Amino acid sequence: MHSSAKILAAVVLASTFVCSHALAQTASAVPAATITALADALKDTDADVRRQAAWALGRIRSEQSVDALIAALRDSDQEVRKQAIWAIGRIRSPRAVDALTAALKDSNIEVRRSAAQALAQIYGHGGGNPNPNPNPNPGTRPF
Protein backbone atom coordinates (compact mmCIF):
# COMPACT_ATOMS: atom_id res chain seq x y z
CA MET A 1 0.00 0.00 0.00
CA HIS A 2 1.36 3.44 -0.88
CA SER A 3 2.03 5.89 1.94
CA SER A 4 -0.83 8.16 0.81
CA ALA A 5 -3.18 5.18 1.04
CA LYS A 6 -1.87 4.43 4.55
CA ILE A 7 -2.59 8.01 5.53
CA LEU A 8 -6.09 7.68 4.12
CA ALA A 9 -6.56 4.44 6.06
CA ALA A 10 -5.43 6.17 9.26
CA VAL A 11 -7.85 9.02 8.65
CA VAL A 12 -10.67 6.56 8.04
CA LEU A 13 -9.78 4.71 11.24
CA ALA A 14 -9.67 7.93 13.25
CA SER A 15 -12.94 9.20 11.82
CA THR A 16 -14.55 5.85 12.49
CA PHE A 17 -13.46 6.08 16.11
CA VAL A 18 -14.91 9.57 16.42
CA CYS A 19 -18.12 8.61 14.64
CA SER A 20 -18.61 5.51 16.72
CA HIS A 21 -18.35 7.48 19.97
CA ALA A 22 -20.19 10.60 18.86
CA LEU A 23 -23.09 8.72 17.35
CA ALA A 24 -23.72 6.19 20.11
CA GLN A 25 -21.62 3.48 18.46
CA THR A 26 -24.33 2.27 16.10
CA ALA A 27 -23.53 0.70 12.75
CA SER A 28 -26.32 2.67 11.09
CA ALA A 29 -24.54 5.92 11.98
CA VAL A 30 -21.39 4.97 10.06
CA PRO A 31 -21.42 5.40 6.28
CA ALA A 32 -21.27 2.17 4.28
CA ALA A 33 -18.24 3.54 2.42
CA THR A 34 -16.32 3.71 5.71
CA ILE A 35 -17.16 0.10 6.51
CA THR A 36 -16.09 -0.92 3.01
CA ALA A 37 -12.80 1.00 3.33
CA LEU A 38 -12.09 -0.68 6.67
CA ALA A 39 -12.93 -4.10 5.25
CA ASP A 40 -10.51 -3.41 2.40
CA ALA A 41 -7.87 -2.37 4.95
CA LEU A 42 -8.03 -5.91 6.34
CA LYS A 43 -6.05 -6.88 3.21
CA ASP A 44 -3.30 -4.27 3.67
CA THR A 45 0.33 -5.41 3.64
CA ASP A 46 0.90 -3.80 7.06
CA ALA A 47 -0.30 -5.98 9.96
CA ASP A 48 -0.85 -2.91 12.15
CA VAL A 49 -3.25 -1.46 9.58
CA ARG A 50 -5.11 -4.79 9.38
CA ARG A 51 -5.32 -5.02 13.19
CA GLN A 52 -6.60 -1.44 13.52
CA ALA A 53 -9.15 -2.03 10.77
CA ALA A 54 -10.48 -5.10 12.60
CA TRP A 55 -10.64 -3.09 15.83
CA ALA A 56 -12.58 -0.29 14.14
CA LEU A 57 -15.01 -2.77 12.57
CA GLY A 58 -15.59 -4.27 15.99
CA ARG A 59 -16.35 -0.84 17.41
CA ILE A 60 -18.83 -0.20 14.60
CA ARG A 61 -20.51 -3.63 14.97
CA SER A 62 -21.77 -3.79 11.39
CA GLU A 63 -23.07 -7.08 10.06
CA GLN A 64 -21.81 -5.84 6.66
CA SER A 65 -18.22 -6.45 7.81
CA VAL A 66 -18.61 -10.05 8.99
CA ASP A 67 -17.42 -11.73 5.77
CA ALA A 68 -14.26 -9.62 5.65
CA LEU A 69 -13.60 -10.35 9.34
CA ILE A 70 -14.11 -14.08 8.76
CA ALA A 71 -11.52 -13.91 5.97
CA ALA A 72 -9.16 -12.14 8.41
CA LEU A 73 -9.26 -15.24 10.63
CA ARG A 74 -6.81 -16.76 8.13
CA ASP A 75 -4.35 -13.85 8.51
CA SER A 76 -0.71 -14.79 9.05
CA ASP A 77 -0.48 -12.42 12.04
CA GLN A 78 -1.94 -13.78 15.28
CA GLU A 79 -2.76 -10.28 16.57
CA VAL A 80 -4.84 -9.61 13.46
CA ARG A 81 -6.66 -12.93 13.96
CA LYS A 82 -7.35 -12.10 17.62
CA GLN A 83 -8.62 -8.64 16.75
CA ALA A 84 -10.88 -10.02 14.01
CA ILE A 85 -12.27 -12.58 16.46
CA TRP A 86 -12.89 -9.84 19.02
CA ALA A 87 -14.74 -7.82 16.39
CA ILE A 88 -16.89 -10.79 15.38
CA GLY A 89 -17.74 -11.39 19.03
CA ARG A 90 -18.91 -7.80 19.39
CA ILE A 91 -21.05 -8.10 16.28
CA ARG A 92 -22.47 -11.42 17.53
CA SER A 93 -23.12 -12.77 14.05
CA PRO A 94 -24.27 -16.39 13.90
CA ARG A 95 -22.82 -16.49 10.35
CA ALA A 96 -19.35 -16.61 11.92
CA VAL A 97 -19.92 -19.67 14.13
CA ASP A 98 -18.26 -22.15 11.74
CA ALA A 99 -15.20 -19.91 11.28
CA LEU A 100 -14.90 -19.33 15.03
CA THR A 101 -15.25 -23.05 15.68
CA ALA A 102 -12.37 -23.64 13.26
CA ALA A 103 -10.37 -20.95 15.10
CA LEU A 104 -10.62 -23.10 18.24
CA LYS A 105 -7.91 -25.20 16.56
CA ASP A 106 -5.59 -22.25 15.85
CA SER A 107 -1.91 -22.78 16.63
CA ASN A 108 -1.97 -19.86 19.09
CA ILE A 109 -3.61 -20.37 22.49
CA GLU A 110 -4.67 -16.71 22.75
CA VAL A 111 -6.45 -16.96 19.40
CA ARG A 112 -8.19 -20.14 20.59
CA ARG A 113 -9.21 -18.43 23.85
CA SER A 114 -10.54 -15.42 21.93
CA ALA A 115 -12.55 -17.71 19.65
CA ALA A 116 -14.13 -19.42 22.66
CA GLN A 117 -15.05 -16.02 24.14
CA ALA A 118 -16.54 -14.83 20.84
CA LEU A 119 -18.63 -17.99 20.57
CA ALA A 120 -19.87 -17.40 24.12
CA GLN A 121 -20.86 -13.86 23.13
CA ILE A 122 -22.76 -15.10 20.09
CA TYR A 123 -24.60 -17.71 22.16
CA GLY A 124 -25.49 -15.11 24.79
CA HIS A 125 -23.12 -16.11 27.55
CA GLY A 126 -21.17 -12.85 27.55
CA GLY A 127 -17.79 -14.35 26.73
CA GLY A 128 -16.12 -12.37 29.46
CA ASN A 129 -14.69 -13.51 32.75
CA PRO A 130 -16.84 -15.84 34.84
CA ASN A 131 -19.07 -14.25 37.44
CA PRO A 132 -16.79 -13.51 40.42
CA ASN A 133 -19.76 -13.99 42.76
CA PRO A 134 -21.53 -17.20 41.77
CA ASN A 135 -23.98 -16.80 44.68
CA PRO A 136 -27.31 -15.80 43.07
CA ASN A 137 -28.32 -14.04 46.31
CA PRO A 138 -25.39 -11.71 47.02
CA GLY A 139 -26.82 -10.61 50.38
CA THR A 140 -26.81 -14.14 51.77
CA ARG A 141 -24.14 -16.70 52.53
CA PRO A 142 -23.74 -19.42 49.86
CA PHE A 143 -23.85 -22.23 52.48
Q: Is the pLDDT of residue 37 over 80?
A: yes
As a 3-state breakdown, the chain gives helix, strand, coil percent values, each rounded to 5, of 65, 0, 35
Residues 39/21, Cβ–Cβ less than 8 Å: no
Please give the share of the chain, as a percent, with pLDDT higher than 70. 67
What structural domains does the chain harbor?
3-122 (1.25.10.10)
Q: Is the pLDDT of residue 128 over 90?
A: no
Q: What would the pLDDT profile of 40-54 be if each residue is shown by its tens digit?
A: 999 999 999 999 999
